[in-house]
Amino acid sequence: MSLPDSQIDPTICRLSESRKPAEPCTIVIFGASGDLTARKLIPALYHLFKEKQMPPSFRVVGFARREKTDDSWRTELRAALDQFSRTKPVEDAVWNEFAKNIFYCMGDMTDTAAYTKLEQLLTSFGQTALRENLLFYLATSPSQFGEVVEQLHSSQLLHKDGPGWQRVVVEKPFGHDLESAMALNTELTRFARERQVFRIDHYLGKETVQNILMFRFSNSIFERLWNRDSVDHVQITVSEKIGVGGRGGYYEEAGAMRDMVQNHILQVLSLVTMEPPVSLEAEAVRDEKVKLLKSIRAMSPDDVAKQVVRGQYFAGAVGGEARPGYRQEAKVRPDSNVETYVAMKLLIDNWRWSGVPFYVRTGKNLPMSASEVRIQFRPTPNVLFAAQCGQKLGANALTLRLQPNEGISLRFNGKVPGTSLAVRPVRMHFSYDSEFGAYTPEAYERLLLEAIVGDATLFIRRDEVETAWQIVDSIRKGWEGKALSNREFYSAGTWGPVASDDLLALSGHAWHEPLMVT
């Protein structure tokens, strides 16, 4: 019988062994009756408990206005877990042990008495650490963040400096522009230090997004190519097969730029292009991400017209299914100019990436849901094979597939077998599932564990949020007062508007559709 690679490979390095252990704590979820708690948070905590990753002693407290008992809330959560757990069926013995740690506190987030009630519940747990080590998860509207943090501070549950530790986890959106983001950050840091605020973007918890840094900085053969000397251009695609559906009201306020570019896409871009951090400490990694974002060339309104394309889908079919146009969706204005698609050419003004264009795109109602980064290398000199084949000799490319079918593909040229001299692009593909098995933890499992341990590497710092909003606000300013043109509309089920293809054609490039890897 052969041994698994982890037992026979002496080179395996477990970086997590240096992580400090998770201390006993209480996790308080504000907005506990919401969808996020049932679909993501409780399933994530259950799986951490099942995998023996939770602290030796912990409590989970749900805080919401609806009247419930501990037992009735546990019953609700069990039903949700049966539906949303990534492993089925749910193990009764594991759930029963986990459920003993779940409690409910009814109260209004604006009511001071409710926080007194919460403090009494925490005290009743007996163990000092369960009263002083507190993770507050604000699964609420951002407009309520300031109120909750102030009430926690007033009730002596949140301290800037001891006893124990307290952390505040907040969900995006982190504002809707730079001004609102700065105001929100100011509210949060009135009663908590920046190091206590954990801004969560679930995209950063995805296994393959985390692997970007590992791939870059632990493999010298690729890191030496990761610069302007070898790279011709980079394409980042985050496509969605779904339309806005029931989120028309939200999308009218956000649009694709605020919904996807300001957070997910700029996060991936920073990880792909940042300089090596001086260490794996959270602040060292986040310092480099901020430096990179600050290196993105600012755009004037004239630059926006040349480098940014917005689009909006009209009625069409996706995978044979008829889809309405965006303007026909519920809660959408019939003359709406809101973008459901964005494509951009970004330039990074630093030594490593000077002159290399970065093309990013995201959109709704596209042919498939996929996220990938394609590093297109410079073509070979126009001698030998390039001189003979011309454009038929494909350039080398490295594709980081973030979802689905996570993996990495390397495209290069090879000789077709036979007596004739023929060349054809071929691929070497690494698949996560094939190499490591199908187990991939949900993003929230990793992020919740990191918050409990106090590792902020995968969370977004204040200056990072504000720098990203500066980039987005300058683009949105260039759109002010301008209606969508005919070349910016696209049929549902296609890869976007004609104007998006024009954007790349100006530089002699073309979009590459995401890899159909199975």
Residue 192 lies in a domain: no
| Residue recorded with tokens 């995006």 | 172
- Identify the DSSP state of 268: H
User: Which CATH number fits the domain that encloses residue 147?
Assistant: 3.40.50.720
Domain that holds residue 90: 23-171
Structure tokens at 252: 């009218």
Residue 88 lies in a domain: yes
Position 297 in a domain:
yes
- Residue 441, domain CATH: 3.30.360.10
What string of DSSP letters covers 50-113? HTT-S-SSEEEEEEESS---HHHHHHHHHHHHHHH-SSSSPPHHHHHHHHTTEEEEE--TT-HH
Domain endpoint, select from 171, 195, 212: 171
Eight-class DSSP state of 141: -
Q: Identify the pLDDT of residue 415.
A: 66
On whether both 167 and 208 belong to a single domain, the answer is no
Residue 41 falls inside a structural domain: yes
- Cα distances from 375 to residues 224, 357, 359, 507, in angstroms, run 13, 11, 11, 16
Domain match, 48 and 163 both: yes
pLDDT string in tens for the chain (518-residue length) = 444 544 445 566 555 555 678 899 999 999 998 889 999 999 999 999 999 999 999 999 999 999 999 999 999 999 999 999 888 898 999 999 999 999 999 999 999 999 999 999 999 998 999 999 999 999 998 889 999 999 999 999 999 987 899 999 998 888 899 999 999 999 999 999 999 999 988 878 777 777 888 888 888 888 889 999 999 999 999 999 999 888 888 899 889 999 999 989 999 999 999 999 998 888 999 999 999 999 999 999 999 999 999 999 999 999 889 999 999 999 999 999 999 999 999 999 999 999 999 999 999 999 999 999 999 998 866 555 554 555 655 678 899 988 888 888 887 766 667 766 666 676 788 877 777 765 566 889 989 999 999 999 889 999 999 999 999 999 999 998 899 999 999 999 999 999 999 999 999 899 998 876 54
**Residues 216, 118 share a domain:** no
- How far does Cα 79 stand from its chain's mean position? 27
Q: Would you say residue 184 lies in a domain?
A: no
Place of tokens 């009263």: 131
- Decide if 398 is inside a domain: yes
Q: Say if residue 339 is in the same domain as residue 414.
A: yes
Same domain, 327 and 218: yes
pLDDT of residue 6: 47
Tell me how many domains the chain contains: 2
Within 8 A by CB and 6+ apart from 148, the residues are 30, 109, 136, 138, 140
- Burial class (CB within 10 angstroms; exposed 0-12, middle 13-18, buried 19+) of 269: buried
Residues 6 or more apart whose CB falls under 8 angstroms from that of 490 comprise 311, 312, 313, 314, 341, 363, 496, 497, 498
Within this chain, do residues 233 and 115 fall inside the same structural domain, yes or no? no
Q: Is the domain of 161 the same as that of 209?
A: no
| CB crowding 34-71: b at 16 or more within 10 Å, else e | bebbbebbbbbbbbbbbeebbbeebbbbbbbeeebeee
The pTM assigned to this predicted structure is: 0.89
Question: Catalytic residues, which ones?
Answer: 264
Query: Are 165 and 213 members of one domain?
Result: no
Give which of 351, 352, 212, 207 is closest to 268, Cα–Cα: 212
